Chains A and B, each alone.
Chain A
Amino acid sequence: NAGVTQTPKFQVLKTGQSMTLQCAQDMNHNSMYWYRQDPGMGLRLIYYSASEGTTDKGEVPNGYNVSRLNKREFSLRLESAAPSQTSVYFCASSEREKAFLGQYFGPGTRLTVL
Chain B
Amino acid sequence: AQSVSQHNHHVILSEAASLELGCNYSYGGTVNLFWYVQYPGQHLQLLLKYFSGDPLVKGIKGFEAEFIKSKFSFNLRKPSVQWSDTAEYFCAVNALASGTYKYIFGTGTRLKVLA
Contact = CB atoms under 8 A, between A and B. Distances in A.
Interface of A: 31, 33, 35, 40-45, 48, 50, 56, 90, 92, 94, 96, 99-108
B9 interface: yes
Contacts of A106: 43
B44 A100 contact: no
Interface string B47-67: 001011000000000000000
Contacts of A44: 105
5 contacts: A35-B105, A40-B9, A43-B90, A102-B49, A105-B43
Interface residues of B, number: 23
B100 A50 contact: yes
Nearest to B31: A100
B92 to A, nearest CB: 8
Contacts of A92: 44
A33 B107 contact: no
Contact of A90 (B43, B49, B92, B102): B43
B43 A102 contact: no
Given A42-B105, A42-B106, A102-B94, 13 more contacts: A31-B101, A33-B103, A41-B107, A42-B107, A43-B90, A48-B102, A50-B100, A92-B44, A94-B101, A96-B101, A101-B49, A102-B32, A103-B46
Contact of B90 (A40, A42, A56, A96): A42
Contact of B46 (A43, A45, A102): A102
B34 interface: yes
A48 B42 CA distance: 22
